Structure 1
Amino acid sequence: MASQVSSCLDVQSVPESYIFPPETRPGKLTVPLCKTNPVIDLGKAVGQARTDIIQQISEACQRFGFFQVHNILFYSITSTCLINLFCSFENSLKELMVSCKDFCLHQTNSLEDHIVLWKQVINHGVPECLIIDTTKVFNDLFNLPAEDKVNVPEKNGWFYTDSMKFSSNGVHLWRENIKVPCQPLEEECVQLCPEKPNRYREIVVSYVKELRKLSLRILELICEGLGLEGGYFEESSEVQLLTANYYPPCPDPSTTLGLLRHCDPSLITILLEGDVSGLQVFKDGEWIGVKALSNAFVVIVGNQLEIISNQKLKSAEHRAVTNPSEARTSIATLINPSLDFVVEPAKLLVNDLNPPLYRPILYKEFVHSSRAFGPDTEAIKYRISSEL
């Protein structure tokens, strides 16, 4: 890395200030990849099939606290399909190679298994060229010289931090991070975009707008799944924050973390994980890895959705681990209420048999009473519930 973080993290062994205590670090045990990742086809959320998609989303949010959406459009692999795809533009060629690799790995499976594999067709609607451009522009930003990155304006919600600016009990995270306020998308916010890298403003603004549309689409499906009136989440999703993380290769991932174990304080988080896996979710008493899918999004249930649903939907505890050989860039879009929004269980979801599990709380009170990482994000929820 050509940055001040590279001078700290481009090393042969992990510096002591980055080594987490044994009870916190990932350790050397292999974390299994989740083989039943909930994958939702948003393209089918119309007509009679809409009910099935809503049910799939509800079940995924209840069982896992997250689900995936992506744009792979293969139902089968035929010679005609291969020829057409090879003749298409460059981005499709990359996708094809990944698909052919998967196909070869599954040659011993039954025909029925192949059909199931290719029918995991997800249509989130965000152009793949925009996803690729957005990932590249953040990679370019993180690889700028240190003096260019420290000039990112740290006001009005903008904040750039290298690995030395955040610590948990004196231990630093193995990452760089930038936070970008992006909804409401006011002119002042747009003008504060960094001048470098080239096209940053154009690309990120376009990405923000597409993610806004995607988030409203997903929230409306969740709303229907809970039995709430249409548009219920409009007021609780007025604020949108983008946070991008860069995780350099790490000589010993068993001792470090890119992000601590936490629940998101958002309504939902839409994560662009990239091509390198690193997201892990805590489920049923153990960590499971979420396989990175090219051009895919992981939708994570946040604390606010758990509260509003009166715990019908469960926020997902998760963390980010590092990789010994590959750098990883992830881009998370957090959909939040405004600071003055009162977060409480939806009235339609509580009654004598299902009393509210949380008291009403201003979102800013929730944020100020909890920390960004660690058990506090869980503790604040139960503190709210215990004060009923």
Structure 2
Amino acid sequence: MALLLDNNNNASRWFDVDAVPEAYTFLQEFRPGNFETENNKQNSFPVIDLSKLDHSSEEKEETIKKILKSCQEFGGFQVINHGFTEEVIKETISVLKEFFSQLVEEKVYEAKENGWVYLSSTDYANDGVHLWRENIKLILSHPLEDCMQRWLEKPSRYR
């Protein structure tokens, strides 16, 4: 889901986008994505196969090194072969769409009540380009049951 602004900076919510509005488009030289490295080679965002964590200790160690390197050099990575079913992924997306469809006040309240962080980009006048992001940061711990009472209450399906 994304948050769009009309000409009066009033927020509206939407899920399916046919085209990115110009107010949300960075100039080509400021866009994230592929970039040149010191070696002048083209790099793309790392893709890591998590199924290798179940293999030999050598493959497991190599995968962990790739994860660390990707975080250090790119700030993240894409995961494949993670073991989540298509059904779980679709349900997760559905629940998060429901959460982000709530009013901003509800999301902020939920964050304060449960000790997690809600962030959105709202400094439109100073940003020049509207940043297309809205985030929640939840702290998870082991065992999982110990932190479940702090999970989102709305939507109730989240728990």
Does 2:49 match 1:39?
A: yes
Q: Which residue of 2 aligns with 1:60?
A: 66
Does 2:68 match 1:70?
A: no
Instruction: Return the alpha-carbon distance in structure 2 between the equivalents of residues 194 and 63 of structure 1.
Output: 32
SS at match of 2:132: coil
Normalising to structure 1: TM-score of the pair? 0.27
Which amino acid counterpart does residue 26 of structure 1 have in structure 2? R
Instruction: Return the alpha-carbon distance in structure 1 between the equivalents of residues 67 and 101 of structure 2.
Output: 36
- RMSD over equivalenced CA pairs, Å: 4.3
Q: Which residue of 2 aligns with 1:6?
A: 4
Instruction: Return the alpha-carbon distance in structure 1 between the equivalents of residues 83 and 104 of structure 2.
Output: 35
Contact 1:159 1:178 survives alignment (8 Å): yes
Using a 3 Å threshold, how does the CA distance of structure 1 residues 190 and 14 change in structure 2: closer, same or farther? same
Which amino acid counterpart does residue 195 of structure 1 have in structure 2? E
SS at match of 2:115: coil
How much has 1:26 moved relative to structure 2? 1.7
Show the 5 A alignment for 1:208-223: none
Which amino acid counterpart does residue 6 of structure 1 have in structure 2? L
Q: Which has the higher helix share?
A: 2
Instruction: Return the alpha-carbon distance in structure 1 between the equivalents of residues 150 and 22 of structure 2.
Output: 38
Structure 1 runs not aligned, ≥5 long? 72-123, 202-388
Does 2:111 match 1:153?
A: yes
SS at match of 1:181: coil
The percent of aligned pairs where both chains have the same amino acid is: 30
Normalising to structure 2: TM-score of the pair? 0.54
Q: Which residue of 1 aligns with 2:31?
A: 26
Instruction: Return the alpha-carbon distance in structure 2 between the equivalents of residues 51 and 139 of structure 1.
Output: 39
How much has 1:141 moved relative to structure 2? 0.9
Count of aligned pairs between the two proteins: 134
Structure 2 runs not aligned, ≥5 long? 13-19, 36-41
How much has 1:155 moved relative to structure 2? 5.0
Using a 3 Å threshold, how does the CA distance of structure 1 residues 176 and 59 change in structure 2: closer, same or farther? closer
| Residues 2-36 of structure 1, C-alpha deviations (whole Å, 9 max, x = no match) | x8x33357684317xx969x98x227x97667398
Instruction: Return the alpha-carbon distance in structure 1 between the equivalents of residues 97 and 64 of structure 2.
Output: 34
Instruction: Return the alpha-carbon distance in structure 1 between the equivalents of residues 51 and 150 of structure 2.
Output: 36
Contact 1:157 1:179 survives alignment (8 Å): no
| Residues 152-211 of structure 1, C-alpha deviations (whole Å, 9 max, x = no match) | 13156312222217x9xx436421111222225466x5344333224011xxxxxxxxxx
Contact 2:119 2:134 survives alignment (8 Å): yes
SS at match of 1:199: helix
Instruction: Return the alpha-carbon distance in structure 2 between the equivalents of residues 149 and 156 of structure 1.
Output: 11
